[in-house]
Structure formats: C-alpha cells, structure tokens
C-alpha cells in the first residue's frame, strides 16, 4: 500500500447513505473492490454498477457465482470472496461491525487488518466500531454520517392492525412462514425475504414489495444487512435467535440494525413488536432512537498464516492464539470442524502425503454446509469430493451430472424447492473452484441455470402461497386511480384486470370466497367499480330479450337463461302476481327498475297467454246469474274445479247457462269441471305456482312430468294439489282428469250391477296392468272380484260363436259410472277412495274382451289338464258408506229396493245415475212396468233432444248404436210391443219446467251426435 493512500471509516446508523457513498468513491477510481456481507446485497450493488458502467467492466464473485469479464475494473464480492492481490485503487468493506460476529467475524477482522486499496480504503459500519478501528488502524480517518430520517418507537401492534408498508421480522423459517400465511389471510399477501433464498428469488420477492403488489414484507434479520427497501414500520415478532450454537437474545445493536431499515431517505420510520414478542424497555428504545450502543470491545480473529505440513499442524495454526487485546480467537467454525472430522478418517489420511494435498483438503473443508444437514453427512460428502480430487485431479463429470440431474426438478412445495436450492448451491460452489471440474464454463452455466429454474419455481410457490395477486393488483390500480377493466365471459366469470373476482349471475355479483377479509373488501370495491358499465349494458340486453329467453321456476323464481334475476310475489289477485328483481344496489336504481319492468311484462304476458280462455270467460258480461257464479268459481280455481264442490249449482243450471259456459270451453265432467286447454303442461305448471303464491306456501308443489296418465298418490300430499295439477286421486294412484272422463264414458256403457270386465281400451287409456286397474276402480267406488278361467286362444275364440253381450241386463242399467239425468254434465261423480303410492305400469293389453269369455257355467268347471289359466276381474258398483272420504252414490228409490234381487251382486246405482238405471237383471225378475212410478220428479220431466230416455209416459227413446240391451226383445212377454224399439244409452235430463222446443247446442258434442242420429 502506498504511504499516501488514505483509510476512511464512514460510520453511522442505518439510512445514512454509507453504501451509496462507497459506490460513488469506488467509481471515481480506475479500479475498485467492494466487499459486502451477503450475496443478496452483492447482487444488488452489482446491478447498480452495471447500470452505471456496463457489464463488460464489472465482476461479481461470491461463493456460488462468478462473473468475471476480460476487462474487469470493478469487483463486487462477498467479503469471503474478495480478491486481495489484484492491487485495486479503491477497496471498500461494508458492515464492518460484523468483526464482532461469532460466526463470520474473523473474516471481517482479517479484511480490516489486511485489505487496502492503492489510493483509498473505506470501512463502512456502525459508530460502535470507532474505538476498535482507531486502535487497529492508527492512520484511519473517521467520517460520521447522521441518519436522514427520524426513527421512533410505535409500541405493540397486532398483525391485523399492522400499517401498510410494514416489515415483520422473524428468526426461523417456520416463524416466517406462519406470519406470512396469517398476513395473506388478513391483508391479502406479503413478500418473503430470507438469507437462504437465492439472489434471483430474493430480488423477485423484493420486487413484489417495492412495486406495491403487496404492502407487507416478512423477513429474517437478512434485511438488516444493507437491503434498501421502502419500509415505514418494522415489527419484531421475536427477540431471540439461534446463532448456530444456542438460542440467545438479540443484542441491542442487532435490534438497532434491523429497526433502522424503517424510514428510507427522508421519510420517517417506526419500530415496534407484534405477536408474542414483549415490548422493549425504555433504555433499549432510547438507544435505538438515538443510535447509541455500547462500543465493540473484542473482534473475532483467526490466524491467517497457516501451516500445511500435516493436518495436525494445519489445525494447530488455525487454533493459534492472539496477543492483541482487541482480538479474541474465533470459535471453531464449520470448516475447522469439517477438517478435524476428515483428517481422522483412515481413507483420508492415506491420501495426505504432501502439503499440497493438505491444502487441497483445507479447500474442500471450506465448502459451506448449505444443506444444513448433520455434521457426519456433510463430512461424508466432503470426503467423497476430496477423494475424487486427490485421486483423479477433478470431480467426475458423470457423477456431478447425476447429482445435478437429481436436483433439477421444479415440482414440489416450498420446502422441497428450498432444499433443492440448498443442494444446488453446493455444486455451484464446486463448479466455481478453479480446476475442480473439467469444463468449468459448462458446469458454471449449468449449475447457474438449474439454480435460476429452482429460484423461479420457488418464487412462484412463495407468491402462490403467501400473495393474493388478484387483491394486490387491484389495490395497486386503485391507489393509482386508474380505471379498471372488467370482463364477463359466457360462463358469468368476472375478471378485473385479468384477475378472477367472482361470478355475475344475472344482476348480482357473487364474490370469490377465497379472498382474505381485507382483500375481499378491496376486491368487491374494484369489481363493482369495473362492473358499473356492464350492469347497464346487461340491463339493456335483458330488456330487449325475447320472452323465449325468460322462464319461471316451479318455486316462483324468474330466470334469464340459467341466471336467477327475480322472483314472483303475491299480488291482489292470484292471476295478477307481482315481481321482485334481484339486482345489486351498486347497479343503481335505473338498472333495477328496468329489470323489474321487463319481468312484469313477461309474467303478465305469460298469464294472459296460458289462461286466455279463463280470462275471456271472466270478462264475458253475457254470463249471468248462477252461471256467472260458477264461472267465478272456475276463475278462482284457475280452470279446474272438483264437481262435488259445486254439485248443487251444477244441477240448478239450465241448458242456456250450460251452453254459455260451454262456448268458453267449460267441460262438465263426471268428476271435475274444467277447461281442457288448461290441463296442458304449461298452464298446469303456472297454475301450481300462482296458487301456491296466493296461498302463501313456503314450498310449492311441483307439476308432474308431461305425458303421464297416472302418478303415485301420496296420502301426505293434500288432495287439492293433485286437482290443481290436473289429476284425480283413485286408489294408490291419481289419474289425469281428461283420461278419467274418457274412462267414465266407457264405464257408462257397462252393467255396473251384474258386473263387467275391463276392456283393452280401458287399460290402454289408463296405461295400467289389470291388477293396477282394479286398484284404480276400487278408488272410483267399484268392487273387483278376482277369478280365473281357462285362457282361450285367439283361434279357439274365433271358432266358438260369441254369446249375446249382457243378454239379461236391461239397457237402462248398463251404466258403470252411472249417468245422471243430464249425462256427464249434470251429476256429481263418486269420490275417490283412499290411496297409496304405486309404480305406474303399461296397459294390460293381454286381457281378453268380455265377448271372448267362455259360455256361462264353464268358468266354474274344473280346467282340463294342461289348460293355461288366466285371471280376470268382475267389477261391480259398490261405493263406501257415507261419511268417509269416498262418499258413495245416492241410494236407489225405495220402489227399486222392493223389487227383490236384481243380480248376483246387487248394488245401488252410482250418484248422478238416471233413476231407471236400477233395472232388474232379467226379465223374469223385473217387476211390471206399471208398478214403477212414472215420474218421481215434481212437474214431470222432459229430456233434451240429445239426452237419454227418461221415466214416465211421453218420453221417446232414441236408437242406441251400441251396448245396453240385446237387440232381440222377443223373450220379454211383458213388453212385446217394444221389442223393435231401439234402445238409447245416452244420459237423461230432467227439467222442472214446461216442455219447449229443443234447439241443438252447437257447442255440445252430445247434442250434435243426437241430432245426427235422428236424421239417420
């Protein structure tokens, strides 16, 4: 060193610009070397000098990285890797107070004593080093630099109340990760900085914090070593650390070094504690705020003049004591412990034949234990490397490649990637050593590439685990007051600035639940800010959408496609419902009003379309009197009305009133009064919703699937629900109303007293098997007697002439579901029986027709051997007694009961049946005609032209096209004069008024058919 070279100690607290000053002084010289405590800081300074001078003149040398251009002028190094023999003009050592560090202090002390520049030497550090430097470097000049900002105590704060731009300091990986996870949940995310991170990972994490993507930093004490970050508050989560030997409390100057990171340049900073850390005492707070710490009295030192004669002599030179009062011998570090362990191995001792091999062993022992494994495992790896170098002169390429390939994997979690990074640092260190590998450039680039890939993967995992990027991006944009861009895809997913924020269902935004509480508020604010124009655009599209895109659910919801946009609300009348729109308040009143008006238009048109016949009947002023009352009841029932509820009113209707109602489509069925168009699936579905809404039900009954003739009848379901759905309960099932009326038309042609069998047409209508049909008939008031008989093959049936159908049954008694005086339009139907659920089945098409039955008497005969038997039912009208759920029909007249046995199974005629339907089964049993009352109704009776024949003189019968009595009446001696009279099975009508000329009702199918028959 030249005598004119000056040594300057620039001392002061943090945030005084000491490192910046050293860089400027070094660049003022032609060449320079700067030693830094961490390779993280070395990389940061290297990037700054490269930006100022270019990469061709700047070198970076650390234990794991070596970038040395051919025209290098400035060397940026870790303190351990500083080249001392190159004769640089300027030499600078940063954080010189680390001379007192038990682990690395001897390295800094060596640089303090021996590192000198040709023109200038700079020592940068704490004011506590003034006495030691003055004693060990007599010619040193001291420069004191004051802190640019004020540092103050802020007390204890919970992490949930931590202010933005804060750094929380922990002293273990587990502690750092736990704090980072808590901050992610409560604050949206944080960056993580640890000394074990690679420079690439550390820089990426710092960039997250510096760019404002996150407002919080969780770090170890690595941030206390010169990292210049925009930190306003430093909080200590712990005040003790493991120093490699034991857990110990932090020294005051260590706390001051870390706390001094708060406040950058002229911005003031604060420090405090959080979590389980106890608050600092007053003396420590005062020392930190005023930067007054106890001066350093001892520097750790290790002898640098080594003896490589033998391992024992080398160890002895390393353990040599010092006589300087300012120096103390450093404790055995990892390299000395490794040397002692390897020199004791027999296989190593055999190779130590010269000072050169001892020096090689010492160089191998200086490989850091990046993996932090056990001493034995680390010593085993070093022994393997030394064996290669001692025997072959180099580490084998294939062995090195195998170890590197095992590490070169970017899958796994944070711990796995961190471990691989520690492993690759070992091989990076090996590749950096001159002469240890065959192709140094290849292996340096290869190990560096693997470290970069692992660093990027680790940064990604850290960000994924501890940073909610969505929230951080939105917070940064909101701070910058930039307009946010929201996108909604066809699935309703909302992305704000490319980050998923939630789903927009209709006009309601459902936020993603994975965000933290603070992040959720930010996310919601940003999403609604960006969705305001989208709400208006969507409202315009919705208002102009056709009705085909809208629908209602069976629980009263209103849908736009697959999105719920509103619900139905009960109005003043059942068929005038109101709507409630599902629109977020943030969308605004205009959007909500537009959506509501469009929904109201939709449901009003839907009701007007589906119930048009019913609404037209309600508006018809020509309907007067009793007919108007019945029309009102039909409107209340939304087109379906059980006949037994209005049986009296129906009987009192005259034909003109009936005709007016029929013109509106009203059908007077045996069991139900209804409008057939309103039994279709669409009106039925709407009727159930509107009725449930009007009656305040919490759960609406659902309409049956379209196309089903019968459905299970559940006793826990109210009967009126089935009626509203268009079904009538009978037995264990409920049958569709219109199909029941078709069945009733067929049953009227059957003898319900003598008994009859089910026809294939009946089974086809109901879609049931014979056993299921029997259960249905029981629900309608019929008793089914099951029997068996030999099954007749079709060819055998064709060979045997069929007997006369119902030869002994008079025509008037042929009604199964007996007609009332005016046919289906005039009488009440028999109520259904109790029922339970059963599975539907197909029609029993294999049941033979009644005319295929064997002759009388053969059914009871024993079947011949090998004859196949078949089951059949004989149905007889047998309603239950009054008072039950299924009321039976009206009792027969006393006169009819006095006639004695009518058939094998006598029973009264069903309710609504014509009085002469209770005729005897045979001519011999039938009483004389003149014994019966001619007319049991007051005022006589007269039938319609399209009605059936009534009792009493003067009623003319009409030709009967099918069913009823036999055509040949010669076997009836009591009435020979009527043998050629055709019988009529049409229902009869009794009216309490004088006879008048009957007009054909064009809206009545019965009247039209009767008029056609009279003209044939």
* 310-364 pLDDT, tens digit each: 999 999 999 999 999 999 999 888 899 999 999 999 999 889 989 999 999 999 9
- CB-based contacts of 888: which residues, under 8 Å, 6+ apart? 781, 830, 879, 880, 881, 882, 908, 911
In the sheet with 557-560, reading across from the earlier edge strand, the strands are 550-552, 557-560, 563-569, 578-581
Which residue has better confidence, 927 or 129? Answer: 129
Q: Residue 471 has what pLDDT?
A: 67
* Residue 896: per-residue pLDDT: 38
How far is residue 981 from each of residues 811, 977, 1014, measured CA to CA in Å?
A: 12, 8, 14
Q: Which of 879, 854, 739 is closest to 787 using CA atoms?
A: 854
Three-state secondary structure call for residue 641: strand
CA dihedral for 208, 210, 214, 220, sign (positive or negative)? positive
Share of the chain above pLDDT 90, in %: 42
- C-alpha 588, offset from chain centre: 27
Arithmetic mean of pLDDT over the chain: 79
CA distance linking residue 877 with residue 886, whole number of Å: 13
Residue 161 in tokens: 């109340």
Total number of residues shown for the chain: 1016
pLDDT per residue over 462-485, tens digit each?
988 888 766 666 666 666 656 667
Angstrom CA distances, 119 to 91, 94, 716, stand at 9, 18, 103
Average pLDDT over residues 826-851: 38
Residues 968-994 have pLDDT tens digits of: 444 444 444 444 444 444 454 444 444
Asked if the model's pLDDT at residue 849 lies above 60, the reply is no
Instruction: State the pLDDT at residue 199.
Output: 80
Residue 415, classified by CB atoms within 10 Å of its CB into exposed (0-12), middle (13-18) or buried (19+), is: exposed
Q: What is the mean pLDDT of residues 278-289?
A: 91
Q: Would you say 122 and 90 are in contact if contact means Cβ atoms under 8 Å apart?
A: yes
* DSSP character string of 370-416: TT---HHHHHHHHHHHHHHHHHHSS--HHHHHHHHHHH----S-HHH
Distance between CA atoms of 865 and 869, rounded to whole angstroms? 11
Distance of alpha carbon 692 from alpha carbon 681, whole angstroms: 17
Cβ burial 146-172 (10 Å sphere, 16+ → b, else e): ebbbebebbeebebeebeebbbbbbbe
- Residue 476 exposure: Cα atoms within 13 Å on the Cβ side: 16
Three-state SS for 712?
Answer: strand
Q: What separation in angstroms does the CA of 112 have from each of 31, 105, 772?
A: 20, 10, 106
Kindly write down the DSSP assignment for every residue of 906-934, as one continuous string.
--PPPTT--GGGS--SSTTTSPPGGGS-S
Q: What tens digit of pLDDT does each residue of 185-206 get?
A: 777 789 998 877 888 898 889 8
Radius of gyration of the chain (CA): 52
How many CA within 13 A on the CB side of residue 339?
Answer: 24
Sign of the C-alpha dihedral computed for residues 740, 742, 745 and 746 taken in this order: negative
pLDDT in tens, 675-731: 999 999 999 999 999 999 999 998 899 889 988 999 999 988 999 999 999 999 998
Q: Which tokens go with 860?
A: 């009871």
More confident residue, 835 or 530: 530
């Amino acid at each position: 060193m030249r005598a004119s070279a000056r040594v300057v100690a620039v001392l002061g607290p943090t945030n005084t610009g000491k490192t910046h000053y050293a860089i400027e002084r070094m660049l003022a010289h032609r060449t320079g070397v700067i030693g830094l405590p961490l390779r993280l800081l070395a990389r940061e300074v290297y990037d700054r000098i490269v930006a100022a001078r270019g990469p061709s003149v700047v070198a970076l040398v650390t234990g794991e990285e070596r970038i040395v251009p051919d025209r290098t002028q400035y060397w940026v190094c870790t303190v351990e890797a500083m080249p001392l023999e190159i004769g640089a003009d300027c030499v600078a050592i940063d954080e010189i107070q680390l001379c007192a560090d038990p682990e690395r202090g001897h390295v800094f002390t060596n640089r303090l004593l021996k590192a000198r520049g040709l023109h200038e030497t700079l020592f940068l550090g704490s004011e506590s080093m003034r006495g030691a430097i003055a004693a060990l470097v007599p010619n040193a000049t001291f420069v004191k630099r004051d802190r640019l900002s004020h540092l103050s105590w802020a007390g204890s704060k919970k992490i949930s109340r931590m202010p933005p731009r804060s750094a929380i300091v922990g002293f273990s990986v587990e502690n750092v990760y736990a704090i980072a996870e808590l901050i992610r949940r409560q604050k949206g995310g944080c960056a993580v900085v640890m000394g074990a991170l690679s420079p690439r990972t550390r820089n990426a994490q710092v960039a997250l914090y510096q760019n404002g993507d996150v407002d919080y930093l969780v770090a170890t004490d690595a941030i206390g070593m010169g990292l210049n970050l925009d930190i306003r508050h430093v909080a200590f989560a712990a005040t003790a650390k493991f120093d490699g030997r034991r857990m110990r409390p932090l020294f005051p100057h260590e706390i001051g070094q870390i706390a001094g990171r708060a406040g950058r340049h002229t911005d003031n900073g604060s420090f405090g504690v959080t979590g389980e850390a106890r608050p600092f005492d007053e003396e420590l707070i005062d020392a930190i705020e005023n930067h007054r710490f106890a001066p350093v009295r001892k520097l750790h030192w290790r002898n640098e003049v080594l003896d490589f004669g033998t391992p024992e002599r080398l160890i002895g030179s390393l353990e040599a004591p010092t006589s300087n009062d300012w120096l103390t011998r450093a404790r055995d570090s990892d390299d000395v412990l490794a040397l002692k362990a390897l020199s004791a191995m027999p296989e190593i001792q055999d190779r130590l034949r010269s000072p050169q091999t001892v020096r090689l062993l010492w160089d191998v022992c200086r490989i850091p234990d990046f993996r932090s494994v056990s001493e034995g495992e680390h010593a085993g790896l070093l022994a393997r490397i030394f064996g290669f170098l001692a025997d072959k002169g180099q580490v084998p390429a294939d062995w090195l490649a195998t170890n590197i390939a095992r590490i070169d994997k970017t899958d796994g979690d944070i711990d796995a990637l961190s471990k691989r990074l520690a492993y690759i640092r070992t091989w990076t260190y090996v590749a950096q050593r001159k002469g240890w590998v065959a192709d140094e450039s290849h292996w340096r680039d290869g190990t560096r590439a693997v470290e970069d890939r692992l660093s990027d993967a680790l940064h990604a995992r850290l960000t994924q685990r501890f940073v909610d990027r969505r929230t951080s991006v939105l917070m940064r944009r909101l701070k910058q007051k930039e307009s946010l861009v929201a996108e909604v895809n066809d699935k309703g997913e909302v992305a704000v600035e490319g980050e998923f924020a939630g789903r927009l269902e209709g006009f309601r935004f459902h936020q993603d639940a994975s965000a933290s509480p603070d992040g959720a508020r930010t996310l919601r604010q940003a999403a609604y800010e960006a969705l305001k124009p989208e709400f208006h655009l969507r409202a315009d599209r919705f208002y102009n959408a056709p009705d085909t895109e809208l629908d209602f659910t069976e629980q009263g919801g209103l849908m736009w496609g697959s999105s719920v946009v509103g619900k139905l609300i009960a109005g003043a009348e059942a068929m005038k419902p109101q709507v409630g729109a599902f629109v977020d308040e943030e969308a605004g009143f205009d959007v909500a009003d537009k959506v509501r008006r469009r929904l109201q238009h939709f449901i009003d048109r839907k009701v007007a379309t589906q119930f048009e016949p019913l609404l037209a009947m309600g508006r018809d002023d020509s309907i007067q009197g009793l007919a108007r009352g019945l029309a009102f009841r039909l409107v209340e029932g939304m087109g379906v009305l059980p006949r037994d509820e209005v049986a009296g009113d129906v009987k009192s209707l005259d034909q003109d009133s009936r005709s007016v109602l029929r013109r509106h489509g009203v059908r007077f069925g045996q069991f139900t009064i209804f409008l057939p168009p309103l039994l279709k699936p669409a009106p039925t579905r709407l009727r159930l919703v509107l009725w449930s809404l009007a009656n305040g039900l919490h759960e609406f009954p659902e309409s049956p699937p379209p196309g089903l003739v019968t459905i299970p009848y559940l006793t826990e379901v109210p009967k009126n629900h089935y009626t509203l759905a268009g079904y009538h309960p009978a037995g264990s099932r409920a049958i569709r109303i219109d199909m029941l009326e078709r069945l009733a038309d067929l049953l009227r042609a059957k003898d319900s007293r003598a008994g009859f069998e089910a026809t294939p047409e009946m089974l086809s209508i109901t879609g049931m098997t014979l056993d299921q049909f029997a259960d249905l008939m029981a629900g309608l008031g019929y008793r089914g007697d099951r029997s068996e008989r030999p099954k007749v093959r079709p060819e055998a049936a064709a060979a045997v002439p069929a007997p006369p159908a119902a030869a002994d049954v008079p025509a008037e008694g042929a009604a199964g579901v007996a007609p009332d005086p005016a046919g289906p339009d005039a009488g009440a139907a028999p109520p259904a029986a109790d029922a339970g659920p059963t599975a539907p089945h197909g029609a029993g098409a294999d049941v033979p027709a009644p005319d295929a039955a064997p002759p009388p008497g053969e059914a009871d005969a024993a079947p011949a051997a090998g004859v196949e038997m078949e089951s059949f039912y004989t149905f007889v009208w047998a309603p239950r007694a009054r008072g039950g759920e299924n009321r039976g029909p009206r009792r027969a007249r006393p006169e009819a009961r006095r006639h004695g046995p009518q058939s094998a199974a006598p029973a009264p005629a069903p309710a609504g049946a014509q009085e002469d339907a209770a005729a005897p089964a045979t001519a011999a049993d039938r009483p004389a005609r003149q014994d019966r009352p001619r007319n049991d109704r007051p005022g006589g009776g007269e039938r319609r032209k399209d009605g059936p024949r009534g009792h009493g003189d003067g009623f003319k019968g009409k030709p009967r096209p099918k069913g009823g009595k036999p055509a040949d009446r010669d076997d009836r001696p009591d009435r020979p004069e009527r043998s050629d009279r055709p019988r009529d099975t049409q229902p009869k009508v009794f009216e309490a008024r004088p006879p008048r000329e009957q007009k054909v009702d064009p809206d009545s199918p019965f009247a039209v058919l009767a008029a056609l028959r009279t003209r044939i």
